[in-house]
């Protein structure tokens, strides 16, 4: 019902299903030269990651395709089996190497009583052998993939019940599959403890409610949703392959952790938590399992630099806090840990290795933060800092500091934004013409469409795809039907994608090229009943108000009383010619309309725009001016669908 409610912007990504191909053009001579130059600057491959990413392998599923109840594929374990040997010209050599280690899937032994199922979804499912059953940390994104992971665990190690579930943080790839692991009754009856960081439910359900429509569309670019993996196609997403396309669920935690150092005895295993909220996620903790000498770094340290601001769109994250948490982890937990694991990618074995690895990650975020702020205070702008600030060569010897997910470029811009916002203080940029008008003026000033196309082709021949994309994007914004301009821009974007070390930069360029070539696969909004049920009514009423069209409502007023019987909540809505205001906990004295019924029926009215009469037939009691209520519903925009990105 809500577009992308609560983290769903990530869902409906690459899993499987109908897929479009990737780039049409092969790597140009300039791109091949860029790949060779990049390869020459990379550190020694080393043997560590090859060894650690396969160490402890026990078994995987014989059938690589995981399906939903209808028989449709939601995940293919072997989707990246083609990644082997030397990098093709159309993939950055560092990203190719990364995918060689990331593509493995199956059940792996981490320590005596800790195992991980890796490669079954975007994230890892970690299990600890408790006294009576399995303690599950982070049950993947989809019910189907989580179920398949547990089936593998039980078939390989012997069937045991799940005795506890732990959500490391509030992102959907770490909780969405929970119903594949336990039933809600297991939690409500107290049979299974469900432990999460404080603030988990609020953050899990609210992160994408307001901006869900935009995030879903942008996420389709970040993850190249629906694009087939391949040397000219999707090449994972940095922290994993893609996001499974199955059913998202949520079960409310029964216990929350508020402070670092808090411990819980869970099914005979003592767990200690480090709160890292406000860095990678607004509610997140790491877990130290002393008996196993193992530290789970959740997602603040993985095999790649992360996003300070994810390109799909989100609130910007605090890089300084992130660095401090990593420093604390390296000093407090790493010296007691023989193994450091994460909820993405492979483990780091060895006490010294784990400590150095966490310290390298710490230095990466601190360097990014401190050097961005240093430049910022010298007067450099966002774009200038993003250009001049690069990964230091010695730090880059540690492969996990590389930007397969976040990049120095967009993370430096994010830190600038965190402190100063989008404005670079150059007044010409304070109020320029909007994109379409500016594009028309620019193309005209440069001498017209043919001239711009020639300039762009010239830039492409010289390998300056940043400039050709810039020129051609303006041309397409002026002449969206100019086939030559669209084809040239698609090719320019493809070359930029091929030479990107970041998987999600590659995805965005290739998704843009796909849209330009007319093969767009705009995904419909996914819904999760569990997640919508968990969103506060006030937030839903505020979200409905963001689709209110005053020009259609007109200069009138309307007051509505709401009694949500299933939740025992009173609320009201007040509309005038400008805004729609919702208030939970208030009852209007003399409403024009009074509605009474389960919340789902009211939401069907406000979000799905079901006719008032249909909802009345379904059991919603409406007293008063039903025609005025219908007028309000008509004045709400439908739920947002995909929108144009590469064209005006």
The one segment of 35-43, 117-125, 182-190, 585-593 that binds Zn ion by CB under 5 A: 117-125
Output 173 or 267, the one with its CB closest to Zn ion: 173
- Residues in contact with Zn ion, counted by CB under 5 A, come to a total of 3
123 interacts with Zn ion by CB under 5 A = yes
Q: How far is the CB of 306 from Zn ion (least distance, A)?
A: 9
Q: How far is the CB of 171 from Zn ion (least distance, A)?
A: 5
Output 181 or 485, the one with its CB closest to Zn ion: 181
530 interacts with Zn ion by CB under 5 A = no
Q: How far is the CB of 406 from Zn ion (least distance, A)?
A: 13
Q: How many whole angstroms separate alpha carbon 179 and alpha carbon 68?
A: 13
Q: How far is the CB of 141 from Zn ion (least distance, A)?
A: 9
Could you give the string, one character per residue 317-356, with x where binding to Zn ion holds by CB under 5 A and - elsewhere? ----------------------------------------
- Cα separation values, 368 from 452, 479, 506, 557, Å: 37, 39, 22, 52
Q: How far is the CB of 110 from Zn ion (least distance, A)?
A: 18
Output 4 or 456, the one with its CB closest to Zn ion: 4
Q: Which of residues 158-187 bind Zn ion (CB under 5 A)?
A: 173
Output 123 or 562, the one with its CB closest to Zn ion: 123
What residue ranges in 170-268 does DSSP mark as E strands?
193-197, 255-257, 263-266
- Cα separation values, 341 from 55, 109, 126, 136, 269, Å: 13, 11, 9, 14, 17
Output 103 or 174, the one with its CB closest to Zn ion: 174
Q: How far is the CB of 396 from Zn ion (least distance, A)?
A: 24
Residue 242 C-alpha from the chain's centroid:
10
Output 219 or 580, the one with its CB closest to Zn ion: 219
Residue nearest to Zn ion (CB): 173
**Pair type for strands 593-597 and 558-564:** parallel
The one segment of 119-127, 179-187, 497-505, 543-551 that binds Zn ion by CB under 5 A: 119-127
Output 223 or 607, the one with its CB closest to Zn ion: 223
Q: How many whole angstroms separate alpha carbon 402 and alpha carbon 306?
A: 9
Q: Are 283 and 200 in contact (CB under 8 A)?
A: yes
Alpha-helical segments (H) within 130-253: 143-157, 184-188, 200-206, 212-222
Q: How many whole angstroms separate alpha carbon 38 and alpha carbon 96?
A: 12
Most distant CA pair in the chain, distance? 76
Could you give the string, one character per residue 261-300, with x where binding to Zn ion holds by CB under 5 A and - elsewhere? --------------------------------------x-
Q: How far is the CB of 356 from Zn ion (least distance, A)?
A: 23
- If one counts every other C-beta atom within 10 angstroms of the C-beta of residue 418, the result is 19
- Cα separation values, 486 from 85, 450, 469, 505, 579, Å: 34, 13, 10, 20, 40
79: CB partners within 8 A, 6+ apart: 14, 16, 229, 241, 242
Q: How many whole angstroms separate alpha carbon 295 and alpha carbon 291?
A: 11
Q: How many whole angstroms separate alpha carbon 309 and alpha carbon 300?
A: 14
Output 60 or 307, the one with its CB closest to Zn ion: 307
Closest-CA residue to 120 (of 179, 172, 78, 77): 77
Q: How far is the CB of 189 from Zn ion (least distance, A)?
A: 29
Q: Quote the tokens at residue 511.
A: 């998704």
Output 90 or 168, the one with its CB closest to Zn ion: 168
- DSSP-based three-state secondary structure for 510: helix
Q: How far is the CB of 303 from Zn ion (least distance, A)?
A: 12
Q: Is the dihedral of CA 376, 380, 386, 391 positive or negative?
A: negative
Q: How far is the CB of 55 from Zn ion (least distance, A)?
A: 22
Q: How far is the CB of 133 from Zn ion (least distance, A)?
A: 25
Output 237 or 372, the one with its CB closest to Zn ion: 237
4 interacts with Zn ion by CB under 5 A = no
Output 344 or 362, the one with its CB closest to Zn ion: 344
Q: Are 339 and 354 in contact (CB under 8 A)?
A: yes
Could you give the string, one character per residue 66-105, with x where binding to Zn ion holds by CB under 5 A and - elsewhere? ----------------------------------------
Footprint of Zn ion (CB under 5 A): 123, 173, 299
């Amino acid at each position: 019902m809500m577009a992308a409610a609560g983290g769903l912007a990530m869902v409906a990504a690459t899993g499987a299903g109908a897929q479009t191909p990737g780039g049409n053009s092969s790597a140009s001579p300039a791109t091949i030269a860029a790949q060779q130059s990049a390869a020459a600057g990379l550190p020694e491959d080393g043997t560590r990651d090859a060894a650690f990413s396969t160490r402890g392998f026990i078994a995987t599923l014989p059938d690589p395709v995981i399906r939903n109840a209808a028989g449709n594929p939601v995940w293919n374990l072997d989707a990246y089996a083609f990644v082997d040997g030397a990098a093709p010209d159309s993939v950055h050599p560092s990203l190719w190497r990364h995918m060689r280690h990331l593509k493995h899937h199956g059940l792996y032994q981490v320590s005596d009583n800790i195992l991980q199922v890796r490669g079954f979804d975007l994230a890892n499912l970690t299990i600890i052998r408790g006294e009576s059953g399995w303690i599950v940390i982070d049950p993947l994104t989809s019910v189907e993939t989580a179920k398949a992971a547990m089936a593998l665990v039980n078939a390989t190690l012997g069937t045991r019940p799940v005795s506890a579930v732990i959500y490391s943080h509030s992102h959907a790839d770490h909780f969405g599959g929970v119903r594949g692991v336990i039933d809600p009754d297991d939690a409500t009856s107290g049979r299974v403890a469900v432990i999460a960081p404080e603030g988990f439910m609020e953050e899990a359900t609210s992160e994408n409610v307001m901006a869900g429509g935009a995030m879903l569309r942008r996420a389709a670019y970040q993850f190249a949703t629906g694009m087939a993996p391949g040397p000219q196609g999707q090449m994972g997403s940095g922290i994993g392959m893609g996001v499974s396309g199955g059913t998202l669920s949520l079960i409310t935690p029964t216990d929350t952790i508020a402070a670092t150092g808090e411990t819980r005895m869970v099914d005979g295993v003592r767990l200690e938590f480090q709160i890292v909220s406000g860095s990678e996620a607004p509610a997140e903790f790491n877990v130290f399992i002393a008996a196993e000498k193992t530290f789970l770094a959740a997602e603040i340290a993985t095999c790649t630099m992360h996003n300070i601001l994810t390109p799909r769109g989100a609130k910007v994250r605090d890089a300084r806090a992130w660095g401090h948490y990593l420093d604390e982890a390296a000093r407090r937990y790493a010296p007691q840990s023989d193994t450091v694991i994460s909820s993405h990618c492979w483990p780091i074995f060895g006490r010294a290795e784990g400590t150095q690895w966490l310290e390298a990650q710490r230095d990466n975020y601190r360097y990014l933060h401190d050097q961005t702020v240093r430049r910022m205070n010298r007067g450099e702008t966002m774009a200038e800092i993003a250009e001049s600030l690069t990964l230091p060569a010695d730090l880059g010897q540690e492969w996990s500091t590389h930007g397969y997910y976040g990049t120095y470029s967009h993370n430096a811009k994010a830190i600038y934004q965190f402190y100063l916002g989008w404005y670079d203080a150059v007044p010409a940029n304070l109020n320029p013409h909007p994109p379409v008008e500016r594009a028309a003026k620019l193309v005209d000033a440069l001498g017209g469409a043919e001239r711009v196309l020639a300039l762009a082709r010239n830039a492409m021949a010289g390998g300056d795809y940043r400039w050709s994309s810039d020129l051609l994007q303006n041309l397409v914004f002026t002449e969206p039907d100019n086939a030559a301009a669209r084809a040239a821009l698609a090719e320019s974007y493809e070359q930029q994608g091929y030479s990107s070390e970041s998987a999600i930069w590659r995805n965005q360029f290739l998704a843009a090229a796909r849209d330009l070539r007319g093969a767009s696969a705009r995904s419909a909004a996914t819904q999760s009943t569990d997640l919508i049920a968990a969103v506060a009514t006030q937030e839903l009423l505020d979200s409905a108000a963001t689709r209110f069209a005053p020009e259609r409502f007109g200069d009138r007023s309307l007051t509505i009383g709401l009694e949500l019987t299933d939740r025992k909540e009173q609320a009201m809505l007040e509309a005038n010619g400008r805004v729609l205001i919702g208030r939970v906990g208030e009852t209007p004295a003399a409403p024009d309309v009074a509605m009474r019924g389960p919340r789902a029926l009211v939401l069907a009215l406000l979000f799905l725009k079901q006719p008032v009469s249909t909802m009345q037939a379904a059991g919603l009691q409406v007293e008063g001016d039903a025609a005025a209520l219908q007028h309000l519903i008509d004045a709400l925009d439908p739920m947002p669908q995909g929108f144009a990105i590469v064209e005006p």
